[in-house]
Amino acid sequence: MEFKKFGKRMAKIKVTIISLFLLFNFNLTNAYEISDLIRILIDKNENSSSFKYDDLIDDIDLENATNIYIPQIDYSYSLTNNSTSADTTSTINSNTNTISATMNLYNGGFSQLNLLATQTRNQAYDYLRTYQKELLIKELINGYNNLQGLVLKKANQKNNIKFFEKKVQEAEILFKASRITKTDLLDFQNELIEAESLLLDYDRQIDNLMLQVNKLLDMELQDEDVNFTFSISIPENSVKKKKFSDLMNSTYGNYLKYIEKTYQPELEMGKKDLKPSVDLSYTLSDTDKFSSTVNHRRSSSISLALSVPLYDGKKDENEFDIDKYEYEKKLLEHKDLKKDMLNIYLESWNNYDFYQQKISNQKQIIDTLKLKLKGDEILYKSQKISVTRLIETNNDLNDANNILLDLNTQKKYYLMDILILNGELKKIINGLG
């Protein structure tokens, strides 16, 4: 008999182990982790978004700017009908094939300036697009952190529901024994209903936030499809306040550096219409039935043309003055962008330090409330405090735990800004596996 019982117990253990293995394996193969979501986001934006076409446009712009000394070659064909009449009428039909090639030899250095500006602008746009991708990753990670916080709040609320379910059961027994009033029982029952209602609200918040994440990823995930047990750990040595000059080495900082380098060449290109231009041209023309006496004629010519702007009513000078004002305006706006970057960085640090301290204080509050709740439960059972006080202490502890989750979420939000401007985001992503 004992052997049979032992066999049954082993069978149950075996089933349990298999079930746990299947569950674990299911999570491994089907649940997305944050690293998976980031890779999906990056692939989506590299392969099927406007970023891809921006890169193609930049490549074409650079190719056009590089072809400085490649001549422009044109072909033309003309068919002519000439009729003359005097004593006799004669008609001559002729056709002409013409090939011409024109190459600019000098245009005030405009071509070289355009090449320099295009190369620099493309480099700046590369950094800008990388920064835009970083912002998308930041948005995804912030969404993940918010969802993780809500999932933990939901778990806390389930524990809170269990607490009140237990208290309702205890209260029903005590009420039947006439040890508590009907009001005490109703208070516990009402708290249970409110706790269950709040759980529904968490489900609604999670669903709404998942919609935002799905829009970002272009997917249709449910919260059950994501593994929220993983917390993004940030090495302490990565979270260091840097000098402003160091911020310029971040992705956004490099964008600002390179885009500023395009302003001067673009200004100089505005002088194009104020400078002389030299063009070299070659034309080859072939005509059949040229006249009544000449059936065929071929001609070629080489020309060197100099164009010097003399006077256009100061139109070109005025246009260049506008370009200079635009240049000065860009420099001022650029200076403001640098200031904004520094202010965002310093503000993020201030908020990060603030939430660090708030989290430390909140943990102490939670520890105190846990002790208080244990004491209040003992006091309530001995009828030394009211049910209202016990409920208040429990709710205070539950609220304190939720506040801690919110504080951590807020801290992570500002931490992402710091990491991006520190140029550390890529390192953190690579560390996710």
Per the structure block, which two tokens stand in for 354? 């603030």
φ and ψ at residue 268, rounded to 5 degrees? -65, -35
What pLDDT digit, counting tens, does each position of 82-110 carry?
666 555 555 667 888 999 999 888 888 88
Residue with tokens 């010097």: 308
The fraction of the chain above a pLDDT of 90, given in percent, is 57
CA neighbours closer than 13 Å in the CB half-sphere of residue 406 = 7
Q: Output the CA angle 224-228-230, nearest 5 degrees.
A: 145
Alpha-carbon span 244 to 422, nearest angstrom: 10
Q: List Cβ neighbours of 306 (8 Å cut-off, separation of 6 or more).
A: 276, 277, 278
Q: Coil, strand, or helix at residue 376?
A: helix
| Residue 21 lies inside a defined structural domain of this protein | no
Is 146 or 29 the better-scoring residue by pLDDT? 146
With CA atoms as reference, report the closest residue to 415 among 336, 347, 334.
347
CATH of the domain at 104: 1.20.1600.10
Q: Identify which of 85, 119, 56, 114 has the alpha carbon closest to the alpha carbon of residue 259.
A: 119
359-367 average pLDDT score: 97
Residues 6+ apart with CB under 8 A from 66: 115
Is the confidence at residue 188, as pLDDT, over 90? yes
Q: Given a cut of 80, is residue 303 above it in pLDDT?
A: yes
The verdict on residue 192 lying in a domain is: yes
User: Reduced to 3 DSSP states, what percent helix, strand and coil does the chain have, rounded to the nearest 5?
Assistant: 70, 15, 15
Is residue 8 one of the residues assigned to a domain?
no
pTM: 0.78
| Confidence at residue 48, expressed as pLDDT on a 0 to 100 scale | 67
Contact between 300 and 285 under an 8 Å Cβ cutoff? The reply is yes
Residue 20 lies in a domain: no
**Alpha-carbon gap, residue 81 to 89, rounded angstroms:** 13
Please give the residue range of the domain that contains residue 182: 35-430
pLDDT at position 269 is 83
> Tens digits of per-residue pLDDT, 63-83?
888 887 788 899 998 887 766
Distance CA 360, CA 364 (A): 7
Q: How confident is the model at residue 56 (pLDDT cuts 50, 70, 90)?
A: confident
More confident residue, 417 or 431: 417
Q: How far apart are CA 192 and CA 165, in angstroms?
A: 7
**Average pLDDT of the residues in 290-301:** 73
Span 285-310, mean pLDDT?
Answer: 80
C-alpha distances out from residue 155 to 56, 195, 203, 268, Å = 48, 12, 11, 64
Domain count, the chain: 1
Please report whether residue 24 resides in a domain.
Answer: no
Average pLDDT rounded to a whole number, residues 179-201: 94
Query: Cβ distance 259 to 124 under 8 Å?
Result: yes
Distance CA 251, CA 420 (A): 8
Residue 272 has pLDDT above 90, yes or no: no
Q: Look at 41-45, 64-68, 324-328 and tell me which has the smallest mean pLDDT.
A: 64-68
Is 237 within the bounds of a domain? yes
* pLDDT over threshold 50, residue 208: yes
Average pLDDT over residues 179-190: 93
Q: Is 7 inside any structural domain?
A: no
Backbone angles phi, psi at 226, to 5 degrees: -115, 135
What mean pLDDT comes out for the span 334-344? 96
- 107-158 confidence digits (pLDDT tens): 888 888 888 999 999 999 999 999 999 999 999 999 999 999 999 999 999 9
Residue 9 pLDDT greater than 50, yes or no:
no
Residue 18 lies in a domain: no
Q: What is the C-alpha to C-alpha distance for residues 48 and 55, in angstroms, rounded to an integer?
A: 12
